[in-house]
């Protein structure tokens, strides 16, 4: 870069730089700074140019706007218009009921959406409040928002790093980058240069904004601030993330527009036929139009859909899946790819010692996580713990884990056991690797308290990333002094000249060194994280109180311990269930390829082809498109990689569920068709960006959520079919009656009662229908297949026609009975009383009641193909009984008769309705068989 380009006013955007791959001299030149830091005046000038070191968030959505957005659905506006029309013609009861439904739907939606996405604001809240910088050669504490590129910063244990920076110096520096990379193990930092294509998680010479220093200290030069930092770019990606409607939301809106079109068309035909061609009074035409509008609108549908989704979401919450957006529940049913994290989702997120090499033998260690129950096996047979006691004692003594208690819901560290009263849990506080060594020693019966008392620590040579080892000095029960060392196997081995074999110290020959190195390689090939252990029984007196590296020689090799974050025991079965259901599972992890492949093989991924982050960066979009469906494991990935994988899968036509926990995952989670956040270890940012939060961080819960989503979708499809077929019958009846000159065959308030009450209650009960037996044996439904399929359309049309065919004769018989030839003979055979007087009110009552009775037939016609009998859902039986009871109260009570303009029915009327219902049932049975021949079952 030329000197002109390097001027402070024209520094390239940090995101375009590969700061980790540059020499420090080049960074100083590019940023026009030095080890002494910036001059205060220059820092102020840069702050003016670059802006504050913070992530700017868009203004939040106001409550008023959220409320107004509830009225964007065409279906809501149809209901509003219907209520206004009812009020205009004096039907205030009808208008009041519809208006009440509108208010309920909008308030419920408002309550859900009020917890709108606050991802940017959450990122902003993560900002540090101060930073220690060097300016003009002097250290000073400043507001972290005033840090600028070129500042030299200082960090220590517990500090949140104020900006992205290149490391200048460090002392035993380890940083927790879980919020950015998703990996729980701290990252040791080193000064130096790394390759340009090094993955984000492997950039050991970089510090990143809002990550936290675990131990040690360091100094670094700031290279990126605010929106140009890694976390700032994530915020930008979240801001630009497209708000995606679920297919169900889109279809409900489309359905409202279709219904509006049907109303306009039907009313237009009636108006033309009766006003222009015929001579029907305008008021009658108007009332008929109102009847068409009310019958076409499924007033109960929004309430039933909302409540059914809410009930489904509650069931899912009981299974540890918290739904943040109700409509997404049905979207789970079409998921055909699940992109999941490894750590904590597929695995326990508890490092566990699984294999030990000691006494020239290999021992398997049973038990997982932080459970202290376990055995030591050779060829499957238990062995005496004494054979591994020395290497385990070394691992517990040379260890800085603390044991304490925390509140039961605190999940920041490993826990084991419950304290008195169940309020507290025993917990291990420290590095996950050291916790694994600590727990392994407890499996051999070593007690931390007793060991600390018997082997008090006298001194320590601390671990650093450069030394790759740690040594502690202890007094033994015999008042001797011993040194224990642990660290990288190659580092430990090169400092040993002897080894301990069955209690005896023997020479460490070159042959044995080779065997130990081979054992280390074997452990590593099985994705085990390996540590070596040694001790020195003859500690010089000069090294007791102030030990140094001179102590770490002439050591006695004790053995190796290999550890792994094991898969959750329920994951293989859950993953197999997903594959059986036609759902591919893809692991996307920041861990290395060897570990990722080993975990993938153990949990049963379809294939174990691995693509790493650097390999992904070298692929063009076309190359990635060709292989993305064949790769089940992506390792060493960055936030951009995760989003790119997601978008490529979506471009290939897949419906993708994406899991995430760290801040780095938030853009991918938000852009996914179904975003899934981890409730235990997840950040607030990712939870706000998600649709569903897993309360137990368990992959098996995703499988259960998919099953729950499919069940809910089946139930939604059933009651949509049920309600719309009823509406179709009402529209067809009114339209046909009007075209035949019968006028209104059923009144608007009667239609409203059917739609909201006598149909709505059973429909709501269908929302808790049990799942079909084969629900997880089907392939996911295609993403472009909505709730309403061709089969459902034919079902709605068929039911509407058959109901009209069966109910129109009831109206004709009871309104025009005296004009029908043979009517008197029919009356005599039926035993009608001489004073039986057909009338419009009676005829409308017959149609009204016929609709209610035929609901039982309609319900089973809709549910039959799911293999469900009437009595498989007791709430549905109760719902049907309640709706029939309410219908009887309407017909046989004075209040009901007054409000709904009905007449009480005699036995002969019920006989007519029964005959019509039987005919309808026979027609539906034949129709369902015909549908099975031409359409898929589901």
**Among candidates 350, 333, 256, 317, which has minimal Cα distance to 565?**
350
Cα–chain center distance at 601: 24
The kind and range of the H/E element at 38 are none
Q: What gap in Å lies between CA 477 and CA 776, rounded to an integer? A: 62
Q: Give the single-character DSSP code of 257.
A: H
Which residues neighbour 896 within 8 Å (Cβ) at sequence distance 6 or greater? Answer: 889, 890, 902
Instruction: Give yes or no: 336 in active site.
Output: no
Query: What residues contact 693, with CB distance under 8 A and at least 6 apart?
Result: 321, 322, 324, 676, 677, 678, 679, 682, 687
Cα–Cα dist 845/891, whole Å? 8
CA distance 555 to 20: 37
What contacts 731, CB < 8 A, 6 or more positions away?
A: 262, 266, 292, 295, 296, 800
Cβ contact 671:648 at 8 Å: no
Among residues 151, 159, 341, 632, the one annotated as catalytic is 341
Cβ atoms 403, 417 nearer than 8 A: no
User: CB of 474 within 8 A of CB of 532?
Assistant: no
* Tokens encoding 351: 């490092």
From CA 184, how far away is CA 181, in angstroms rounded?
9
Helix residue ranges per DSSP H, 494-607: 510-525, 571-580, 593-603
CA distance 657 to 782: 15
The strands making up 584-588's β-sheet, listed across from edge to edge, are 321-323, 692-694, 674-678, 656-660, 337-340, 584-588, 633-635, 610-612
Strands 584-588 and 529-536: unpaired
Contact 181, 210 (CB under 8 A): no
| Helix spans in 690-830 (H) | 699-739, 748-753, 760-766, 790-815, 823-830
State the Cα–Cα distance between residues 158 and 226, nearest whole angstrom: 21
The total of other beta-carbon atoms located within 10 Å of residue 533's CB is 30
Work out the angle at residue 923's Cα, subtended by the Cα atoms of residues 921 and 927, and round it to the nearest 5 degrees. Answer: 115
Cβ burial of 154 (10 Å; 0-12, 13-18, 19+) is middle
Tell the residue number behind the tokens 């020479």, with chain if given.
Answer: 507
Beta bridge partners of 564: 352
Between vectors from CA 593 to CA 592 and to CA 595, what angle results, nearest 5°?
70
For every residue of 284-344, DSSP letters joined together read: HHHHHHHHHHHHHS-THHHHHHHHHHHHHHHHHHHTTEEESSTTHHHHGGG--EEEE-STT
Burial of 240 (0-12, 13-18, 19+ CB in 10 A): exposed
The CA-atom distances, in angstroms, between 630 and each of 409, 426, 609 are 40, 44, 8
Helix (H) or strand (E) holding 170: strand 164-176
The torsion defined by the Cα of 813, 819, 825 and 829, in degrees rounded to 10, comes to: 20
Tell me, what DSSP letter sits at residue 772?
Answer: P
Q: Radius of gyration over alpha carbons of the chain, in Å? A: 37
Nearest Cα neighbor of 845 from 935, 749, 765 is: 749
Catalytic annotation, residues: 341
């Amino acid at each position: 870069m030329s000197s002109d380009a390097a001027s402070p006013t024209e520094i390239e955007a940090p995101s375009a730089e590969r700061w980790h791959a540059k020499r420090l001299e080049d960074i100083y030149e590019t940023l026009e700074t030095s080890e002494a830091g910036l001059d205060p005046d220059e820092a102020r000038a840069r702050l003016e140019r670059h802006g504050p070191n913070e992530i700017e968030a868009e203004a939040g959505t106001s409550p008023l706007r959220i409320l107004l957005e509830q009225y964007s659905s065409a279906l809501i506006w149809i209901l509003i218009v219907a209520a206004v029309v009812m009020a205009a013609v004096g039907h205030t009861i009808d208008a009041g009921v519809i208006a009440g439904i509108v208010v309920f739907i909008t308030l419920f939606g408002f309550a859900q959406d009020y917890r709108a996405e606050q991802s940017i604001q959450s990122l902003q809240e993560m900002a540090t409040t101060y930073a220690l910088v060097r300016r003009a050669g002097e250290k000073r504490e400043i507001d972290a928002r005033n840090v600028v590129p070129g500042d030299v910063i200082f960090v220590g244990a517990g500090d949140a790093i104020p900006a992205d920076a290149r490391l200048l110096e460090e002392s035993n520096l380890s940083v927790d980058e879980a919020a950015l990379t998703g990996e729980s193990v701290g990252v040791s930092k080193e000064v130096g240069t790394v390759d340009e294509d090094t993955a984000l998680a492997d950039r050991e010479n970089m510090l990143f904004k809002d990550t936290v220093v675990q131990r040690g200290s360091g100094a670094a030069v700031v290279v990126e601030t605010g929106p140009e930092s890694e976390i700032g770019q994530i915020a930008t990606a979240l801001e630009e993330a497209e708000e995606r409607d679920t297919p169900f939301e889109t279809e409900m809106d489309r359905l409202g527009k279709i219904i509006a079109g049907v109303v306009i068309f039907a009313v237009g035909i009636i108006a033309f036929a009766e006003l222009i061609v015929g001579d029907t009074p305008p008021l009658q035409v108007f009332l008929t139009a109102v009847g068409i509008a009310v019958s076409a609108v499924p007033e109960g549908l929004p309430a039933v859909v909302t409540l059914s989704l809410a009930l489904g979401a509650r069931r899912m919450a009981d299974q540890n899946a918290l739904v943040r957006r109700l409509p997404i529940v049905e979207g789970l049913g079409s998921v055909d790819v699940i992109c999941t994290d490894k750590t904590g989702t597929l695995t326990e997120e508890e490092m566990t010692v699984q294999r030990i090499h000691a006494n020239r033998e290999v021992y398997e260690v049973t038990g997982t996580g932080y459970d202290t129950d376990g055995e030591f096996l050779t060829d499957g047979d238990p062995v005496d713990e004494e054979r591994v006691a020395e290497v385990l004692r070394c691992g517990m003594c040379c260890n800085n884990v603390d044991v304490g208690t925390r509140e039961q819901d605190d999940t920041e560290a490993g826990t084991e056991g419950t304290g008195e009263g169940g309020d507290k849990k025993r917990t291990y506080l420290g590095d996950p690797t050291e916790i694994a060594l600590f727990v392994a020693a407890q499996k051999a019966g070593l007690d931390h308290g007793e060991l600390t008392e018997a082997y008090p620590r006298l001194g320590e040579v601390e671990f650093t990333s450069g030394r790759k080892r740690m040594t502690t000095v202890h007094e033994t029960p015999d008042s001797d002094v011993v040194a224990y060392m642990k660290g990288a196997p190659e580092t430990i081995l090169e400092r040993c000249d002897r080894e301990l074999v069955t209690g005896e110290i023997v020479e460490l020959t070159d042959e044995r060194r080779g065997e130990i190195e081979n054992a280390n390689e074997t452990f590593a090939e099985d994705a085990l994280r390996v540590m070596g252990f040694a001790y020195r029984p003859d500690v010089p007196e000069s090294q007791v109180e102030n030990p140094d590296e001179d102590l770490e020689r002439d050591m006695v090799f004790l053995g190796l311990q290999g550890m792994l974050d094991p898969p959750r025991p329920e994951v293989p079965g859950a993953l197999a269930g997903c594959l059986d259901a036609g759902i591919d599972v893809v692991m996307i992890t920041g861990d290395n390829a060897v570990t990722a492949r080993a975990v993938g093989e153990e949990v049963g991924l379809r294939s174990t082809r691995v693509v790493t982050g650097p390999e992904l960066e070298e692929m063009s979009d076309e190359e990635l498109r060709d292989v993305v469906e064949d790769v089940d494991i992506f390792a060493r990935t960055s936030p951009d990689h995760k989003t790119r994988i997601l978008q490529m899968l979506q471009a290939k036509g897949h419906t993708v569920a994406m899991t995430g926990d760290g801040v780095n995952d938030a853009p991918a989670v938000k852009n996914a068709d179904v975003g899934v956040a981890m409730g235990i270890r997840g950040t607030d940012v990712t939870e706000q960006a998600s649709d569903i939060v897993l309360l137990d961080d368990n992959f098996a819960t995703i499988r259960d959520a998919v099953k729950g989503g499919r069940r809910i979708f089946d139930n939604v499809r059933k009651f949509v079919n049920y309600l719309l077929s009823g509406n179709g019958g009402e529209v067809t009846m009114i339209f046909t009656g009007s075209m035949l000159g019968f006028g209104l065959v059923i009144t608007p308030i009667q239609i409203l009662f059917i739609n909201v009450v006598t149909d709505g209650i059973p429909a709501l009960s269908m929302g808790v229908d049990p799942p079909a037996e084969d629900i997880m044996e089907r392939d996911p439904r295609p993403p472009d297949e909505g709730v309403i399929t061709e089969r459902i359309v034919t079902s709605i049309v068929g039911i509407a026609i058959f109901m009209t065919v069966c109910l129109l004769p009831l109206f004709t018989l009871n309104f025009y009975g005296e004009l029908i030839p043979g009517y008197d003979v029919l009356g005599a055979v039926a035993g009608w009383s001489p004073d039986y007087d057909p009338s419009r009110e009676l005829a409308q009552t017959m149609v009204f009641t016929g609709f209610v009775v035929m609901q039982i037939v309609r319900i089973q016609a809709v549910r039959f193909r799911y293999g469900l009998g009437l009595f498989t859902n007791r709430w549905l039986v109760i719902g049907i009984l309640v709706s029939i009871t309410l219908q009887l109260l309407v017909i046989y009570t004075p209040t009901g008769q007054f409000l709904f303009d009905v007449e009480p029915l005699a036995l002969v009327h019920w006989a007519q309705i029964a005959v019509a219902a039987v005919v309808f049932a026979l027609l539906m049975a034949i129709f369902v068989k015909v549908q099975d021949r031409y359409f898929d079952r589901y």
